[in-house]
Structure 1
Amino acid sequence: MAELKEGTWVVVTDSEKALFLRNLTDHEDPNFEVVSKEEQENPPSREQGANRPGRMNDNGQGQKSAMDDTDWHQLAKERFAADLSDRLYARAHRGDFDSLVLVASPQVLGNLRESLHKEVSDKIIAEVPKTLTNHPLSEIEKLVKSELDAA
């Protein structure tokens, strides 16, 4: 079972914002403080694309097919995970944390895992596959503790 020691960092993220938290106490009575917040504005794809999707010629006279438009919204989500992993690497390299708990939806955790540096991966003590970015801090403390207790 992973335990929240004093100084453990908890990163609560979705694909558009991240809360960097530090545990000030112990596992029995976690008390998180906000170290920093990161947020990315990511409007729907339809608001980000400049042009209509293109069309291409098919086999056959006068036949055309529509091409898929770029999913700008999804690209921004993936770029956010890569940027977050770079921020975590910089913080780990500076020695800001020795242990880390990642809290995100399974999909975001997957995107993060792909881009995390080994120096950060080695410090992860637990992953919580839940989206908690819009929860109050006191609720995040309870939910993270209960998830770690159940593991």
Structure 2
Amino acid sequence: MKLAHKAHVAVVDGENFVIMQNEGQIFEPKLKTVAQPDLTASNFSAGVKHQDDAGQRTGSTQLDELAHAAAASEWLNKQAISGEIDDLVVIADPKTLGEMRRHYHSELEKRVSGEIAKTMTGETGEKIAAAISSS
């Protein structure tokens, strides 16, 4: 996948959220961390679809993680609407990415140039750039 110069990369999981920016070239990205937003997860209705009887018995509904994904989308929506983000690649584990997509504003959808369904939080910028290049 190509990553435009100055494009943003959101790396998200159920607890972490990092925004990086490409300071390199399209086919040779060099990522720099530019923000680690402190989110307040408030949309706990996000995980309602995961609240089945089996999930409640085993504690696998993970409402906090899904609410964090919704909060990350809300933060990205504000950035897209205000024009702070023009080109974005989202990297998140499959469950988080699925929840985030449900909350994308139309302005954010226009700016998402790619998505990678993979857990990459805690990885170095070099590993994340390599994952983008190989996608």
Contact 2:91 2:118 (8 Å CA) reproduced: yes
- TM-score, normalised relative to structure 1: 0.71
| Alpha-carbon distance in structure 2 between the residues aligned to 1:6 and 1:93 | 20
Separation (CA, whole Å) in 2 of partners of 1:137 and 1:81: 21
Equivalences for residues 3-14 of structure 1 within 5 A: 3-14=2-13
8 Å CA contact 1:9, 1:23 repeated in 2: yes
CA deviations on 1:37-82 (whole Å, 9 max, x unpaired) are: 1467xxxxxxxxxxxxxxxxxxxxxxxxxxx569597111111111
Q: Is there any run of 5+ residues in structure 1 with no aligned partner, and where?
A: 41-67
Question: Once superposed, which parts of structure 1, at least 4 consecutive aligned residues long, lie more than 2 Å away?
Answer: 68-73
* Structure 2 residue 58 is the aligned partner of structure 1 residue 76: no
How many percent of aligned residue pairs carry the same amino acid?
28
Q: Report the equivalent of 1:34.
A: 33
Rg larger in structure: 1
Q: Name the CA distance, whole Å, in 2 between partners of 1:138 and 1:72.
A: 33
1:94: how far off? 2.0
Report what 1:123 is aligned to. Answer: 111
1:136–1:113 CA distance, 2 compared to 1 (3 A)? same
Q: Is the 8 A contact 1:17 1:38 kept in 2?
A: no
What is the distance in 2 between the residues matched to 1:137 and 1:146? 14
Unpaired runs of 5+ in structure 2? 40-55
**SS in structure 2 opposite 1:125?**
strand
3-state SS, counterpart of residue 115 of structure 1: coil
Paired residue type of 2:69: A
Shift of 1:21: 0.6
For the structure 1 residues 78 and 141, does the alpha-carbon distance in structure 2 shift closer, same or farther, using more than 3 Å as the test? same
Residue 74 (structure 2) aligns with: 86
TM-score by length of 2: 0.79
What is the number of equivalent residue pairs in this alignment? 121
RMSD: 2.5
Give the 5 Å matches for 1:1-151: 2-38=1-37, 68=56, 71=59, 74-147=62-135
| Paired letter, 2:64 | A
Letter in 2 for 1:31: K
Structure with the largest fraction of helix: 2
How far is 1:120 from its partner?
Answer: 0.6
Amino acid of the structure 2 residue aligned with 1:102:
V
